[in-house]
Amino acid sequence: MASGRCLSAWMFQGVEVPWCPDGEFRQTVSMSASGLARGASSRVTVWAQAHGMDAEGRELEALVGRGTAELFLVDASGKETPLPLDAKGRWEREDSGSLWAPVTLPAVPDGDYQLRARLTTPLGTGTVDAALPLYAPARVRVLTDRPLYEPGHRVRFRAVALRAKDLSPLDGRPGTWKVMDPSGEVVLEERAPAGNWGVVAGDFPLDRGAPTGTWTVAWTSGGASGDATFTVEPFTLPRLRMEAMSPRPFWRANDTPEVTGQVSYASGAPVADTDVTLAWSHAGAWPPPTEWLRGELPTKARTDAAGRFRVTLPRVPQDLRGQATLSASLEAKDPTGEPVRGGVSLLLSEDAVAVSSVTELEDGLVAGFSNRVYLRATTASGQVLPGAEVMVTRAWDPRDKGVSAVADEDGVAAFQLDPGPAVNVVVPPLPVRVQPRPPPVSLASSRDLLGAQGGQSSLEDQLALERLLPVLHPCARFVSPSSGASMAEFVVRVGASGQVLDVAGAEEGLEACMASALRAKGLPARAERMLQLRFQVMDPGLPSIRWNTQVAFGDERGVSEGLTVAALDARSCLPPTLDRAVAVPGVMTWRRWADKPELALSWVTEPATDDALPAAVLACVKERFARIRVPASTQAELLAGRRPSEAMGVVRFITQPTYGGNGIPRPPQATTFLGYELKVRAKWDGQDMGETKFVLRPARLPPLRLRMTPVLAKAGESVKVELLRGPGFTGELPKTLELVAGPTRLKEKLDPATRSARFTLPKDFEGWAQVEGVAATARVYVAPRASLTVEVSPDKPAYAPGELARLQVHTRVDGKDGEAAVGLFGVDETLSQLAPLPGADALDGLRPSPSVATPAFGVLDGQALAMGRIRGANAAAAALLRVTAVPTLEDVETPLSASATSPFSPDAELTEPFYAVLTELHARTRKWEETAPEGETLNPEGLARLWAESLAACEQRGQKVTDAFGRKLRLSRLPQDLLALTDPRTVVVNGTRLPEDVVNWGAWVAREAP
């Protein structure tokens, strides 16, 4: 060793360490790489690390500075494929001693691979493997053959895996099926690669004791996964079928709606002469008449000999506004009592046509400006009117001749529309239906205190009290509208004849009124009893009386309390239909004395107004205020003379209607706002379809807009981009525009005269392209070139039970016969009564769709664009206005990082030879204990001698007696935990063979280094 370096290690092994190793160097190989992807160049770094120990027991670690490396791609079967290097085709060595080189992975199929590095150095050849899952981003969908199974059935499922970038099938892609029960426990996990067309199928037999609930089946492959749920529960396929429908798609005001239907067996035989029950509900802003939901709507029908039935509803009121839906749940039973259920909905519509709109300006209009507006006119039930002539006029201007346009294939018409100045738009209020109030008085409890153990009153008394409740209803006027409810409690003593003899707790107001009514009616004759009564009393919704007290002298102590009871009593005088506040034409004067509980009252007549109360009502009100008493507590305070006891003043009264009570409802208020009310009329196929109104709000014009023509284009087609400036635009128009079409960026000069530029789309392009670089957005969509259609037809129109049916499947690609993967799942149609069956759109989510704020016209969303379901140019342009983000192209695969180091554990390699020698040491120590002279003890030197003999014996037998670095297992080289196992006091069994003078074993070994 010289200059802090072991020269022999550097010269012969390429390892730079400060001390020479005691024994041999051990080598580990490491590898690191990032950005690994098929067809892409990435940097791979490999290095070898030397590990050793010096004579003092210090660890030595350093990179091996010499060597050569090789790279391999290893597939799942273990086959090695050498990876050639990029560029110069050689490894470069860094200053640290590691090797690096650029490598391009070959275009191998998806799967789980390993990246293997083999490094040869003066210390030997080492290999390290790093996991390398190469999977392209994929979209996976899973379907089961039906949604509902019973325990014991066999579940069949199928998945399709498509490359996310181009939706091409991923044939042979490895994957794994997992089936999980309702608790989440995995009951099946098996590897299943995708076959042709990226389709993989599987099945799973359900045990007869399988738990019921929702199960999940999933297929996972390289980070992509799809799953489907199915239900497991016992069921029986319905033998019956219920069909119900509305003969017309919608019903208008003054129409008499009908429901027709049929009940039959699954075989088609009718279920005759059976009852059909209907339960109704409604949805929509317009409230149906209260009578409809209280029993006027038919709740029963009966089938005829053919199993058919018809139900007629009441006439639709004239006040129908907008649209509302009446829905009915139907149920019928066959003679055996087996039920069948169904449903039907009736659409009620004010107008025969419906209109929705999309504009370029926040779905609003700008006054005095040529607005681009897209209108979709349909029938009230939503039927599209392709080719219809749509006319728009200003609803508030009878002189406006309007503008007209022809709708495209999706029923959307495009207009350039100047709405004129914004006007006050008045939206009529919806009708208000007064809901009948529940009975204001109900019996809460009744106890007979003279009965057995003070228990409940007799059933006879309870029935009598229930029958007397209508007599008590007028007393509900004493419940204040502000409280809404009150509990009346009092006690009556009833004689044997049933006459009420005495009442307690009913001095005035509510209780006094109810007690008076019971006195007049009485109860059944039987034994004398004392009834403790509790009644729940609700405000009846009568008009109320408010007052204003003016004190001329003194104070109004006790006056308000007395007026409150009288005002509640006077509510019964007022007309229930009182619809406005009316002042009582009179002033009441009052005088209070300390020694008199009653107020002195008089009335002063005032001139009556046109809307004054009728004379009979006024007389009734005055009669209720004829006697007002000061409360006893207040009277006692007045007699005490703490404050002036006399007082005088006047009271004025005003009646107040109670909205929503038994009177008229609160008058509905119309909604008024600034906007544009337009009238739309549609003619279709030479027939006037009707007209309707719709309203748009004012909008603002942005500084800059872009308009693309066409918005649905074909690959290689030319598209025009036009810049439209607003009043707020400042600055200069850009010189060029850039259209981003996937990885391609197209630049064209902007024509300053027309403020437009033309782009020619790439011939192989499909997907979304958009203009970038300006403060506005315009997009164009190029649908995929390939279109697939599938036709399935049976070889016969009908089959007998047990007969084999054959289906003919015909697939066409781009209008020509072509191959395609077709999945067929056949189930009994009656299963749809128990669980919803998947439809033709079950795989729609495989194609990425753009994000939209809200679907255009409420129906044209991003999925409709992506799937090519929008045919009309106007509809497509309107749908693109709602697009907020387009799906980005996914890379062929996500770049991976890989790193690994070959394993090396010196402690693990030391353990096995140590225990072999330790076993030999124990054997030799037992033999010494048996043969040594009496009194001889084993000291540290003796044990070190036995260890050396054990080491030699194991070596002679061919057992390994060296550590990870090739050094013999000397006691001084053992770690403390293993050295402690060789302590004489641990090895020797007979304690008399140990010296009484104990020498610390670890210290002795450290000192003597045996």
Q: Give tens-digit pLDDT for 285-339.
A: 999 998 887 888 999 999 999 999 999 999 999 999 999 999 999 999 999 888 9
Bond before 133 cis per omega within 30 degrees: no
> Taking residues 85-91, what's their average pLDDT?
82
Distance in angstroms (rounded) separating the CA atoms of residues 197 and 220: 17
User: Residue 784 to residues 719, 844, 865, 904: CA-CA distances in angstroms?
Assistant: 17, 14, 11, 55
pLDDT-based confidence at residue 641 (cuts at 50, 70, 90): low
By three-state DSSP, how is residue 473 classified?
A: helix
Contact 896, 132 (CB under 8 A): yes
Distance in Å from the first CA to the final CA of the chain:
25
Distance in angstroms (rounded) separating the CA atoms of residues 562 and 651: 12
Q: Give tens-digit pLDDT for 150-177.
A: 999 999 999 999 988 778 888 989 999 9
> Taking residues 246-271, what's their average pLDDT?
93
Residue whose tokens read 């342009």: 877
Distance in angstroms (rounded) separating the CA atoms of residues 709 and 722: 8
> Taking residues 439-463, what's their average pLDDT?
85
Q: Give tens-digit pLDDT for 702-721.
A: 999 999 898 888 889 999 99
pLDDT-based confidence at residue 889 (cuts at 50, 70, 90): low
- For residue 660, pLDDT over 60 is answered with no
Distance in angstroms (rounded) separating the CA atoms of residues 806 and 795: 6
- For residue 689, pLDDT over 90 is answered with yes
What pLDDT shows up at residue 65? 87
pLDDT-based confidence at residue 90 (cuts at 50, 70, 90): confident
User: Residue 541 to residues 324, 446, 581, 659, 666: CA-CA distances in angstroms?
Assistant: 30, 27, 15, 8, 12
What pLDDT shows up at residue 415? 92
- How many other CB atoms are there within 10 angstroms of residue 151's CB atom? 14
By three-state DSSP, how is residue 573 classified?
A: helix
What pLDDT shows up at residue 2? 45
What pLDDT shows up at residue 610? 65
CA atoms within 13 A on the CB side of 267: 5
- For residue 755, pLDDT over 70 is answered with yes
Average pLDDT, the chain: 88
Chain centre to alpha carbon of residue 844: 19
Distance in angstroms (rounded) separating the CA atoms of residues 361 and 371: 8
What pLDDT shows up at residue 183? 94
Q: Which residue has the higher pLDDT, 543 or 894?
A: 543
Sheet holding 582-592, edge to edge: 544-553, 647-656, 582-592, 600-605
Q: Which residue has the higher pLDDT, 151 or 997?
A: 151
Contact 275, 302 (CB under 8 A): yes
Count helices and strands (H / E) in the chain.
Answer: 15, 54
pLDDT-based confidence at residue 453 (cuts at 50, 70, 90): low
What pLDDT shows up at residue 682? 94
CA neighbor of 367 nearest in space, from 415, 425, 414, 422: 422
What pLDDT shows up at residue 643? 58
- For residue 608, pLDDT over 80 is answered with no
- How many other CB atoms are there within 10 angstroms of residue 589's CB atom? 15
User: Residue 9 to residues 5, 6, 751: CA-CA distances in angstroms?
Assistant: 9, 6, 75
- For residue 803, pLDDT over 90 is answered with no
CA neighbor of 533 nearest in space, from 551, 519, 556, 515: 515
What pLDDT shows up at residue 836? 77
Between CA 71 and CA 77, with CA 76 as vertex, the angle to 5 degrees is 95
CA neighbor of 128 nearest in space, from 26, 27, 25, 29: 29
R_g (Cα) of the chain, nearest Å: 48
Distance in angstroms (rounded) separating the CA atoms of residues 250 and 240: 28
CA neighbor of 457 nearest in space, from 519, 405, 523: 523
Contact 770, 739 (CB under 8 A): yes
- For residue 146, pLDDT over 50 is answered with yes
Most confident of the following: 347-351, 563-567, 619-623, 624-628: 347-351
pLDDT-based confidence at residue 813 (cuts at 50, 70, 90): confident
Contact 390, 404 (CB under 8 A): yes
> Which amino acid type is present at position 468?
L
Q: Which residues 6+ apart lie within 8 Å of 236 measured at CB?
A: none
- At 403, list the tokens: 């503008």
- How many other CB atoms are there within 10 angstroms of residue 276's CB atom? 26
What pLDDT shows up at residue 815? 76
Q: Which residue has the higher pLDDT, 385 or 850?
A: 385
Contact 678, 696 (CB under 8 A): yes
- For residue 637, pLDDT over 80 is answered with no
- For residue 891, pLDDT over 70 is answered with no
- For residue 662, pLDDT over 60 is answered with no
What pLDDT shows up at residue 659? 60
What pLDDT shows up at residue 416? 92
Distance in angstroms (rounded) separating the CA atoms of residues 45 and 998: 56
What pLDDT shows up at residue 663? 47
> Taking residues 997-1003, what's their average pLDDT?
89
By three-state DSSP, how is residue 946 classified?
A: helix
- For residue 843, pLDDT over 80 is answered with no
- For residue 786, pLDDT over 80 is answered with no
What pLDDT shows up at residue 102? 92
Classify each residue of 849-882 as buried b or exposed e, where b means 16 or more C-beta atoms within 10 Å of its C-beta.
Answer: bbebeebbbeebbbbbbbeeebebbbbbbbbbbb
- For residue 1000, pLDDT over 60 is answered with yes
Relative orientation angle of helices 906-931 and 940-956, to the nearest 10 degrees = 110
What pLDDT shows up at residue 760? 93
> Which amino acid type is present at position 476?
A
Q: Give tens-digit pLDDT for 62-86.
A: 999 888 999 999 998 899 999 998 8
Name the DSSP letter for residue 853: S
